[in-house]
Amino acid sequence: MDPDREGGEIFIHGKGSKSDWTLGCVALEGDDVRELYDWIPVGTPVAILP
């Protein structure tokens, strides 16, 4: 997949689920990101379903 193409990657990041949503990203609260980081290795494929 070409990461320079629009929609090429989706990132999961901290800094707030209420105010920091961007196109192509899923924003979580800092504690939630830390919990994911502790349990799931970076680079693990994630499926986002409707």
Whole-number Å distance between alpha carbons of 37 and 50: 24
Read off the pLDDT of residues 14-29 as tens digits, 9 standing for 90 and up.
877 676 666 777 888 8
Query: What is the radius of gyration, based on Cα positions, of the chain?
Result: 12
Question: Whole-prediction pTM value?
Answer: 0.57
What average pLDDT score do residues 22-50 get?
A: 84
Would you say residue 7 has pLDDT above 70?
no
Are the C-beta atoms of residues 14 and 31 closer than 8 Å to each other? no
**Per-residue buried b or exposed e for 3-41, using 16+ beta carbons within 10 Å of the residue's own CB:** eeeeeeeeeeebeeeeeeeeeeeebbeeeebeeeeeeee
What average pLDDT score do residues 20-48 get?
A: 83
